[in-house]
Structure 1
Amino acid sequence: MRLTVGQVHRHVLALASSRSCFVLGDHLPFRMLSLPRAVRFHLTAWHDTQTVEDKNGLLTLASLEVQNKVEYGKKERATRTGGTKPSSRASALNMKPKVSSFNAKPVKSALLKSAVLKKTLKIDESLFSAKSFEELGLPPLLIDRLNKEGLTAPTEVQSAAIPIISQKHDAVIQSYTGSGKTLAYLLPILSEIGPLKRPTEQDSSDKRSGVEAVIVAPSRELGMQIVREVEKILGPNDKRLVQQLVGGANRSRQEEALKKNKPIIVVGTPGRISEISAAGKLHTHSCRFLVLDEVDQLLSFNYREDMHRILEHVGRKSGTSSRDILGPLARRSERQTILVSATIPFSVIRAARSWGHDPVLVRAMSVVPLDSITVPRPVLSRTDANSNSPSNSVNQAAVDSLPPSLEHYYCTSKAQHKVDTLRRCIHALEAQTVIAFMNNTKPLKDVVFKLEARGMKAAELHGDLGKLARSTVLKKFKDGEFRVLVTNELSARGLDVPECDLVINLDLPTDSTHYAHRAGRTGRLGRKGTVVTICEDTETFVVRKMRKQLAVPIKPCEFTEGKLLVHKEEDVE
């Protein structure tokens, strides 16, 4: 007997109203039934208890164990609370209910089978070392476009992810910053949709219309970068097939472009996608792919309502009811969900299990079912602290996100002399493309002014600039018109300048994770890069702390006579 959540809920209420009283405990799915949708979204991603879904993902009376006990993982707790004799309660609960008493409608066996069967995970480890995109089975037209763009060999994460996504598995892609994660999910998507896809027998008779892929990014900069990647692959004649929906731009123009160009791929920020969707101008019910890039940021409390709408509407057929007997599983199975980030905290793992269907974790040279990843319980006291504590997990995630070919240094300087130290650092390292990070927006203009006064071309980039101004600054920086880009935390994620050879922290990052994301702006796609942190004497202990957390050698240095001098320092941690 398989029942909907609503039917189980009604049955539970009926039993509770009688003298047969039992306790279901503080289990998430039951508490969530009465919660607002936005709260349900947030609890789904962060709650630590296991769901009451059985192996096939469906709610059944057997999975609820509503007899004499309720199962919590491997532990069992008695549900007797008094007031009712065991025999009467057992007899009431052991009754075999008829289908008619729950008003359950018959379900087509084919639909049920397609929803509950797990996909077979086929891993060809020989592809982890693929030397060309042909080996990964991409269609010829797509390979031709890649060759024209000078892309001939896949990165390690692309070799692992492309075959898995092509097998239609939901996936969580994790790899260090700058390793090619964007193409890792774009290429298998473009193999299935658009003018470069592989030909099929259904192409002539079954032509899809509307948006087929939605890609969500937490920042405008990352969204614009993804759009540029898609346009580059599609080519100038077909670039209209991707539409950018980011905040800070004219919404009415974006809506007009949607109507005129009829894009197959939409890339945008949660707020703008949700806004246009709610206005009825963006139809994503028939969407085949949902990608959440930098998903650890999208789990932020600020995005909860917008993300809830996106998750509810993308890939859900317009005729599908939320009270369908197959529930959320049926809606999830209608789309392929891909989560991407350089860091994968356990909140992302829990979210992937909830939003996807049998997701797999894809890393460079590694593909494993997400169910095999252990999610530790939160640390409740100092005595519980161990290597699996959340803080250690965050640090490990930051370590995993660092590009492997970086050199790390730090030097001390008084606050008023930091710009001079920055200039000497650039000259000593002969860096041509530099990104300098600060924590606040106001000082950016002053730093740019001082660098320009000393003959070094620079520009500022921050969130207060309009979309056109930011795009212009980034284009000029990539074209080499500016040597130094002075920015704030806005660009710590999503800014892709492969030529960047030096990252400088003019202000200390707030933690090791922010350090890792800043550092990831250089050393991209296997290139070498250097990270230099300029701090005051009183801040050196912070650098040493991050050095210990990240397990990378951040070496003390100074810049004199146009050279980098590295000092030896005893480990004082």
Structure 2
Amino acid sequence: MLDVFKTKFAAQGFTEPSPIQTAVAEPMAAGKSVLGLAPTGSGKTLAFTWPMLEMVRPGEGVQALILAPSQELAMQTTNVVRDWAQLVDAKVLAITGGANVKRQTEKLKKHPEVVVGTPGRVTNLIADGKLKLGHLKLMIVDEADELLTDETLDQIREILDATFAETLQLGFFSATETKILDELPRWFGQTVEKIDVRAIDQTQGVVRHRTMEVGNRQRVNLLKRISRVDRLRALVFFNKMQELQHVAVELRHQHVNYVALTSNQRQVEREKALRLFRQGKVELLLTTDLAARGLDVPELPAVINYQLPKDVTTYIHRSGRTGRMGAEGLVLTMGDDHDIRDFKKLMAETNYEIKPGYLVGYQIVDNKPDRVVPPLTFDHPEKAGEAANGRHRVGDAGHPDKVKRVAETNDQLVKPAKAEKAMPKKHKGHNKHSKKKGMRKKNRDRFGK
């Protein structure tokens, strides 16, 4: 590591590099292509940033390219790399879909040494002759298990065709291992050294993995109550955009503070949503797996699986958003009894210790309470004082619609007790229909009909 990097590293309060940062430093410095496997939140970005910046030379054009699966991750990576690149006078440029392509083209004329981008925008600029990679020395594929699939795999191979692939150094980084990561030499024609530190990495803090059984109709209400837990902010994951949009509408009607991060938003909207969430101005960030892949939210307290993850890999990436760099975290998985049963089967072969969790008051606890007495809430604040004096109670005939019971566990909402309504006095002739019927019978008796 360069001396200027060591000084900055120490100034940020770190004493030693993480396992992945230590393991890849020497092979990358020697020009070897590597596959780095490490848990989420273990410092993979800096693991490839330091060796990369050591090899770039200011003023010699684009020498390093970092590919990311989403705009948010690309911008996040850009900010990290730029912070260290200024120490060696290197320029870093982000080129992502959704941003102004003309502005990006103008910035490319300033010849940045490092480019961070999404595969689609990178291939488009190469095709238009705006991005030239003739001097490229290193290409990093971040979140490789996600990027090396289907269309993006083809785009990455197109990018390679625009370089001198015979001398290009490659770096692949991921938290999970997929089949294609074992076939990298066949796909890219290079020997790739596999470096796996997942078994020895202890950078993740203590993370509780809990399930909450709830019926589908009550799931939004449970999410609303969870948002009121003390000091809780959470990424809320959905499998389908349609369900995310439905829940967003329900939360808005219930005046819950949230933002959404989706792939169909404009970049300015996505940046605003992330900024508000990172600043702690909203409690919930609704998102999908693709939109939130690789996101780093410092000291994120919780992750909520509103819909079950489709596989173990998805769960690993979702849960990896919390408990990063030694912080504590919580992962909640919601579902009915069938969902929870299926989820436990899915996770049976993993090392995660998954237990039931319960919402009691404004805390999520591990022990199911014997009995919870729900507090009273009122439509009008002034009624609370009257209730304290015993003037209104659940069941009062005079004010049956003023009192509600709010359940504070993740069981079904307790319905308000119905007040017995006083029956009105019956007056003779009150029922006009009965009166007319009686008159008709009287006339039949009188006239013999």
| TM-score over 0.5 for the pair | yes
Pairing of 1:473-484 with structure 2 (within 5 A): 473-484=273-284
Instruction: Tell me which of 29, 44, 62 is aligned to 1:166.
Output: 29
Pairing of 1:453-468 with structure 2 (within 5 A): 456-468=256-268
> Partner of 2:304 in structure 1?
504
Given residue 165 of structure 1, which amino acid in structure 2 is its aligned partner? M
* 8 Å Cα contact 2:211/2:333 also seen in 1: yes
> Partner of 2:348 in structure 1?
548
Q: Distance in 2 between matches of 1:461 and 1:173?
A: 28
> Partner of 1:105 in structure 2?
none
Pairing of 1:289-308 with structure 2 (within 5 A): 289-308=138-157
* 8 Å Cα contact 2:123/2:159 also seen in 1: yes
* 8 Å Cα contact 2:184/2:190 also seen in 1: no
Instruction: Tell me which of 363, 373, 376 is aligned to 2:196.
Output: 363
Tell me, yes or no, if structure 1 residue 533 matches structure 2 residue 333.
yes
Deviation at 1:163, TM superposition (A): 2.3
Instruction: Tell me which of 64, 67, 82 is aligned to 1:231.
Output: 82
Instruction: Tell me which of 89, 97, 103 is aligned to 1:247.
Output: 97
Distance 1:358-1:300 versus aligned 2 partners, 3 A rule? closer
Q: Distance in 2 between matches of 1:186 and 1:522?
A: 23
Unpaired runs of 5+ residues, structure 1, are: 1-137, 196-207, 317-330, 368-399, 569-573
Instruction: Tell me which of 201, 218, 226 is aligned to 1:417.
Output: 218
Q: Does the residue aligned with 1:410 lie in a helix, a strand or coil?
A: strand
> Partner of 1:109 in structure 2?
none
* 8 Å Cα contact 2:215/2:336 also seen in 1: yes
Distance 1:460-1:152 versus aligned 2 partners, 3 A rule? same
Pairing of 1:130-279 with structure 2 (within 5 A): 138-193=1-56, 209-235=60-86, 241-259=91-109, 261-279=110-128
Instruction: Tell me which of 349, 361, 366 is aligned to 1:561.
Output: 361
* 8 Å Cα contact 2:66/2:115 also seen in 1: yes
The CA deviation string for residues 344-403 of structure 1, in whole angstroms up to 9 with x for no partner, is: 223112124552643211122899xxxxxxxxxxxxxxxxxxxxxxxxxxxxxxxx9995
**Large movers: runs of 4+ above 4 Å:** 147-152, 235-239, 400-404, 448-456
Q: Distance in 2 between matches of 1:460 and 1:308?
A: 33
* 8 Å Cα contact 1:294/1:340 also seen in 2: yes
Unpaired runs of 5+ residues, structure 2, are: 369-449
* 8 Å Cα contact 2:261/2:270 also seen in 1: yes
Q: Does the residue aligned with 1:337 lie in a helix, a strand or coil?
A: strand
* 8 Å Cα contact 1:175/1:401 also seen in 2: no
Distance 1:310-1:276 versus aligned 2 partners, 3 A rule? same
Deviation at 1:303, TM superposition (A): 2.0
Q: Distance in 2 between matches of 1:178 and 1:274?
A: 29
Pairing of 1:3-22 with structure 2 (within 5 A): none
CA RMSD of aligned residues (A): 2.8
Given residue 540 of structure 1, which amino acid in structure 2 is its aligned partner? I
The higher radius of gyration belongs to 2
> Partner of 1:130 in structure 2?
none
Q: Distance in 2 between matches of 1:238 and 1:481?
A: 35
Deviation at 1:425, TM superposition (A): 3.4
Deviation at 1:456, TM superposition (A): 4.7
Tell me, yes or no, if structure 1 residue 432 matches structure 2 residue 432.
no
The CA deviation string for residues 399-449 of structure 1, in whole angstroms up to 9 with x for no partner, is: x99957321010111222213322433545x34331111222244355445
Given residue 288 of structure 1, which amino acid in structure 2 is its aligned partner? K
Q: Distance in 2 between matches of 1:422 and 1:547?
A: 23
* 8 Å Cα contact 2:92/2:113 also seen in 1: yes
Q: Distance in 2 between matches of 1:435 and 1:236?
A: 34
> Partner of 1:522 in structure 2?
322
Given residue 186 of structure 1, which amino acid in structure 2 is its aligned partner? T
* 8 Å Cα contact 2:203/2:325 also seen in 1: no
How many pairs does the alignment contain? Answer: 368
> Partner of 2:131 in structure 1?
282
Distance 1:271-1:193 versus aligned 2 partners, 3 A rule? same
* 8 Å Cα contact 1:506/1:535 also seen in 2: yes
Q: Distance in 2 between matches of 1:341 and 1:292?
A: 9
The CA deviation string for residues 183-217 of structure 1, in whole angstroms up to 9 with x for no partner, is: 1001111122256xxxxxxxxxxxx6110001111
TM-score by structure 1 length? 0.60
* 8 Å Cα contact 2:205/2:325 also seen in 1: no
* 8 Å Cα contact 1:433/1:499 also seen in 2: no
Given residue 171 of structure 1, which amino acid in structure 2 is its aligned partner? V
Distance 1:546-1:426 versus aligned 2 partners, 3 A rule? farther
Given residue 173 of structure 1, which amino acid in structure 2 is its aligned partner? G
> Partner of 2:430 in structure 1?
none
Q: Distance in 2 between matches of 1:220 and 1:255?
A: 17
Distance 1:402-1:355 versus aligned 2 partners, 3 A rule? farther
Given residue 156 of structure 1, which amino acid in structure 2 is its aligned partner? P
Distance 1:421-1:211 versus aligned 2 partners, 3 A rule? same
Q: Does the residue aligned with 1:548 lie in a helix, a strand or coil?
A: coil
Deviation at 1:538, TM superposition (A): 2.4
The CA deviation string for residues 274-331 of structure 1, in whole angstroms up to 9 with x for no partner, is: 11111111111211111111112222111243222112223x1xxxxxxxxxxxxxx4
Deviation at 1:549, TM superposition (A): 3.2
> Partner of 1:91 in structure 2?
none
Deviation at 1:458, TM superposition (A): 1.5
Q: Distance in 2 between matches of 1:460 and 1:298?
A: 23
Q: Distance in 1 between matches of 2:92 and 2:77?
A: 10
TM-score by structure 2 length? 0.75
The CA deviation string for residues 513-561 of structure 1, in whole angstroms up to 9 with x for no partner, is: 1111111111112222110001012212211112203231211222133
Q: Distance in 2 between matches of 1:443 and 1:297?
A: 23
